[in-house]
């Protein structure tokens, strides 16, 4: 059974990112953007409604430009054998939230059959394996889809500036493995492992920009999972809840 829990999304962004300017066209916005990242805006992601029902395909551009259109996403939280969480600093070339710190990997399943499959959350798990290689260079044969455990869904909306925003139903996936990575510098500037007792310091470090989805999950849901990681990683959560953070 699907449940929707409503919570507040507030004070997640530095104040200057909320001071919107005069509206501009897409072509003018991307004129100075990284060519590789602009090309990725052509990818077709999955438009959904607030219950995460599939509406149809939509480009990454159209789902993120201006106010955005609600679409499906995933967030991976990867722990090593010492139960430390791997976090990443997004590359300066990223179009949305460049140079912000986030969880291990956050992206989108694409609109094709393998990543649309909802049984056992296989679509988002396959997408996670694909993007872990793309962003972090973690080989696709490192994981099987069943190693990723689905925890919950998060509905949130977060503007970056006057031109870009996130508006997603985010599927939360946890996995534990000791991995070798080779960063794609167009995607990820740096990574680090964080212990459970270091998380609060990371979130409160004024020198670190924290992405709104990472802060949202880290301040609300992540601590309880981290405290019981062995049990959490034992199986998928069959009680599908959409945690609604849109006011």
**Model pLDDT for residues 79-118, shown as the tens digit of each residue:** 999 999 999 999 999 999 999 999 999 999 999 999 999 9
25-42 burial, b if ≥16 CB within 10 A, otherwise e? Answer: eeeebbeeebeebbebbe
State both tokens at 106. 């956050």
Q: Which CATH superfamily hosts domain 3-19+32-244? A: Nucleoside Triphosphate Pyrophosphohydrolase (3.90.79.10)
Kindly state the percentage of the chain with pLDDT values over 70: 90
Under the banding of pLDDT at 50, 70 and 90, the label for residue 247 is low
Cβ atoms of 242 and 52 within 8 Å: the answer is yes
| Residue 105 annotated as catalytic | no
* Phi-psi category of residue 121: left, alpha or beta, with phi > 0 → left and psi -120 to 50 → alpha: left
Mean pLDDT over the full length of the chain? 92
pLDDT at 22 > cutoff 60:
no
Distances (CA, A) of 199 to 87, 103, 152, 202, 212: 10, 11, 20, 5, 15
Domain boundaries along the sequence of the chain: 3-19+32-244
Query: Which of 129, 126, 134, 214 has its CA nearest to residue 170?
Result: 214
Under the banding of pLDDT at 50, 70 and 90, the label for residue 7 is low
Please report the pLDDT score of residue 12 as a whole number: 56
Summarize pLDDT for 55-72 with one digit per residue, the tens: 999 999 999 999 999 999
Locate all alpha helices (DSSP H) within the chain, ordered by sequence: 26-30, 35-40, 60-64, 113-116, 122-136, 199-204, 212-220, 222-226, 229-232
Summarize pLDDT for 186-206 with one digit per residue, the tens: 999 999 999 999 999 999 999
Please report the pLDDT score of residue 24 as a whole number: 73
DSSP state of 213: H
Please report the pLDDT score of residue 175 as a whole number: 99
| Residue 168 annotated as catalytic | yes
Q: Which candidate in 133, 135, 168, 187 is catalytic?
A: 168
Q: Which candidate in 106, 115, 135, 187 is catalytic?
A: 106
State both tokens at 220. 């609300």
Residue corresponding to tokens 């507040």: 8
Q: Which residues contact 138 (CB under 8 A, 6 or more apart)?
A: 132, 179, 180, 181
Under the banding of pLDDT at 50, 70 and 90, the label for residue 28 is confident
pLDDT at 5 > cutoff 70:
no
Please report the pLDDT score of residue 232 as a whole number: 96
Cβ atoms of 157 and 71 within 8 Å: the answer is no
């Amino acid at each position: 059974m699907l449940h929707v829990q409503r919570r507040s999304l507030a004070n997640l962004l530095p104040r200057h990112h909320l001071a919107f300017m005069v509206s501009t066209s897409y072509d003018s916005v991307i004129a100075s953007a990284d060519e590789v990242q602009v090309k990725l805006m052509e990818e077709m992601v999955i438009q959904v409604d607030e219950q995460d029902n599939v509406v149809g395909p939509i480009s990454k551009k159209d789902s993120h430009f201006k106010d955005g259109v609600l679409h499906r996403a995933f967030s991976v939280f990867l722990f090593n054998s010492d139960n430390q969480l791997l976090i990443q600093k997004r590359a300066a070339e990223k179009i949305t939230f460049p140079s912000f710190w986030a969880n291990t990997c956050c992206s989108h399943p694409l609109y094709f059959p393998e990543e649309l499959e909802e049984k056992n959350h296989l679509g988002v798990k396959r997408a996670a394996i694909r993007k872990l290689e793309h962003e972090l260079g973690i080989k696709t044969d490192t994981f099987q889809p069943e190693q990723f455990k689905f925890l919950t869904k998060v509905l949130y909306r977060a503007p970056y500036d006057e031109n870009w925003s996130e508006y997603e139903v985010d599927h939360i996936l946890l996995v534990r493995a000791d991995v070798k990575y080779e960063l794609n510098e167009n995607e990820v500037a740096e990574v680090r492992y964080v212990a459970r007792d270091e998380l609060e310091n990371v979130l409160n470090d004024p020198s670190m920009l924290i992405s709104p989805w990472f802060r949202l999950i880290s301040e609300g849901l992540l601590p309880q999972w981290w405290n019981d990681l062995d049990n959490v990683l034992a199986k998928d959560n069959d009680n599908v809840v959409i945690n609604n953070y849109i006011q």
